[in-house]
């Protein structure tokens, strides 16, 4: 990297640090809200489309009315209950377990396991939930400052690493393999950003830029509120919109928490 590039990168990091310094008290709350938004929306949808969801599961799996109803109840209670626990900061590890269970259940029930694009999105969502758990461990540690960690730092470090790696899968699903100059530039910049986040180099800056990028793309491509209620496309766009918002929330947690011990940023401190 040339000296001019290093100076430019340093200035960009200074701007990012200023933004984070002014928003450090708000950022974690916004990150959590964004991250659980897809679960919150889906839980509300289960309530509003109770009969449709029950009948879909019953018809798809031939499991009958009772199992279909049980599926809707588990999704409704698990998602809304988990969201309330996360936002109130009560029993967050249990809430994360509930949300992971919902991701696994829906991956099987909706046959997402065989669709690479949607599977990668669900894995990215699971990565965001891992970061929620890592954040709760950081909060727990701060309550008992000065006491031995009993290996807690190690588990938190690897959770941050695995959550970070899973989050970048979302952006891979947004790459557009069209041979136009604009798409090639978008793909190259996107791959550079997710590469930086994956290895943990200039992580906060890269994650912050990717947050702006994903949010802009989400508002442009998934503007579900512009589609009339009676069109099926509205539900598809809404699904994509809130899943992307959840990954944005995960990236904001990366910004708030940092990359963790398994990262180039952390190793640079030891050089």
Residues 150-157: what's their mean pLDDT?
63
Q: Which one is predicted more confidently, 177 or 33?
A: 33
Model pLDDT, residue 6: 64
Of 63-77, 127-141, 222-236, 245-259, which range is least confident? 127-141
Place of tokens 């690493």: 161
Model pLDDT, residue 44: 94
Q: Which of 77-81, 149-153, 190-194, 199-203 has the highest mean pLDDT?
A: 77-81
Of 8-17, 180-189, 224-233, 255-264, which range is least confident? 8-17
DSSP codes, the chain? --HHHHHHHHHHHHHHHHHHHHHTTTHHHHHHHHHHHHHHHHHHHHHHTHHHHHHHHHHHHT-HHHHHHHHHHHHHHHHHHHHHHHHHTSSHHHHHHHHHHHHHHHHHHTTGGG-HHHHHHHHHHHHHHHHHHHHHHHHHHHHTTTS--TTHHHHHHHHHHHHHHHHHHHHHTT-----SHHHHHHHHHHHHHHHHHHHTSSHHHHHHHHHHHHHHHHHHH--GGGS-TTSTHHHHHHHHHHHHHHHHHHHHHHHHH-S-SSSHHHHHTT-
Model pLDDT, residue 178: 65
pLDDT band at 23 (very low <50, low <70, confident <90, very high): confident
User: Distance (Å, rounded) from C-alpha 173 to C-alpha 169?
Assistant: 7
Predicted TM-score (pTM) above 0.95: no
What percentage of the chain has pLDDT greater than the value 90?
Answer: 33
User: Distance (Å, rounded) from C-alpha 62 to C-alpha 201?
Assistant: 49
- Summarised one tens digit per residue, pLDDT across range 42-97 is 999 999 999 999 999 999 999 889 999 999 999 999 999 999 999 999 999 999 99
Residues 34-48: what's their mean pLDDT?
93
Q: For the chain, what is the mean pLDDT?
A: 83
């Amino acid at each position: 990297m040339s000296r001019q590039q290093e100076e430019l990168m340093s200035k960009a990091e200074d701007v990012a640090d200023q933004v984070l310094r002014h928003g450090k008290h708000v950022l974690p709350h916004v990150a959590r809200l964004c991250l659980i938004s897809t679960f919150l929306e889906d839980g509300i949808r289960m309530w509003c489309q109770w009969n449709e969801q029950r009948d879909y599961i019953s018809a798809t799996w031939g499991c009958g009315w009772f199992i279909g109803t049980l599926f809707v109840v588990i999704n409704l209670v698990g998602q809304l209950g988990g969201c309330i626990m996360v936002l109130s900061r009560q029993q967050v590890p249990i809430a994360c377990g509930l949300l992971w269970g919902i991701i696994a259940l829906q991956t099987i029930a909706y046959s997402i396991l065989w669709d690479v694009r949607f599977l990668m999105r669900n894995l990215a969502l699971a990565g965001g939930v891992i970061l929620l758990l890592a954040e709760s461990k950081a909060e727990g540690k701060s309550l008992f400052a000065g006491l031995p960690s009993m290996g807690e730092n190690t588990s938190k470090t690897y959770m941050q690493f695995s959550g970070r790696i899973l989050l970048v899968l979302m952006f891979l699903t947004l790459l557009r393999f069209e041979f136009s100059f604009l798409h090639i530039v978008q793909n190259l910049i996107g791959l550079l950003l997710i590469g930086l986040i994956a290895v943990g180099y200039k992580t906060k800056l890269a994650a912050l830029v990717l947050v702006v990028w994903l949010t802009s793309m989400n508002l442009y491509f998934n503007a579900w509120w512009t589609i009339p209620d009676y069109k099926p496309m509205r539900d598809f766009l809404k699904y994509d919109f809130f899943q992307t918002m959840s990954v944005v929330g995960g990236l904001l947690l990366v910004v708030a928490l940092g990359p963790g011990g398994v990262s180039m940023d952390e190793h640079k401190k030891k050089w």
